[in-house]
Structure 1
Amino acid sequence: MDQFYIARITTKGQITVPLELRKALNVKEGDYILFEKKGPRVEIKKMMPPNDFDNFARPIRERFEREGITSDDVEEAIKWARGESKK
């Protein structure tokens, strides 16, 4: 059976994860969670500790591969953000 929870977004774009969901995900202060958009839905998952970089980076790497984003694209985006881009 589906369960529904409501959280309000603050002016800084932050939300409070309802207690029942924090318990179900076994998350606490300082933990990381992943929001994965799947069509019109969003899944929330507990992330592995950031010291396990391969597990932390896997969803990002997979998304880049799906969308055809290359390391050159990332470098250009960093240059653009720093105001160094020639484009």
Structure 2
Amino acid sequence: MEDFFIARITTKGQVTVPLELRKHLKIQEGDYILFEKKGSKVEMKKLAPSNDFEEFAKPIRERFQKERIAPEDVEAAISWARGHKE
């Protein structure tokens, strides 16, 4: 049997992870959560704490490869966000 939990979205798009889930996943303030879209569903995973940037960046790098996002695309997006003209 699956467990179901309901949480409300705030006006800022924030959601509180229900206490039972936080305890089960051992989620604490400052932890990082990865949200992965799978069709019409979203999977939430706690990222293991790591001081190793390579390990932290792995799911992001994999998504970029899947979406065919090149490093140049990221640089251009950062430049655009900062308001620089290219």
Normalising to structure 2: TM-score of the pair? 0.90
Structure 2, unmatched stretches of 5+, are: none
Residue identity (%):
67
**Residue 19 of structure 1: CA displacement?**
0.9
Distance 1:80 1:50, change over 3 A: farther
Does 2:76 align with 1:63? no
In the other structure, the counterpart of 1:76 is 76
Does 2:29 align with 1:29? yes
Query: Are 1:48 and 1:55, in contact at CA under 8 Å, matched by a contact in 2?
Result: no
How many pairs does the alignment contain? 86
**Residue 79 of structure 1: CA displacement?**
1.0
In the other structure, the counterpart of 1:14 is 14
Q: What is the SS of the residue equivalent to 2:34?
A: strand
Normalising to structure 1: TM-score of the pair? 0.89
Q: What is the SS of the residue equivalent to 2:21?
A: helix
Q: What is the SS of the residue equivalent to 2:37?
A: strand
Query: Are 1:7 and 1:18, in contact at CA under 8 Å, matched by a contact in 2?
Result: yes
**Residue 52 of structure 1: CA displacement?**
2.4
Structure 1, unmatched stretches of 5+, are: none
Which segments of structure 1 move beyond 2 Å, counting only runs of 4 or more?
none
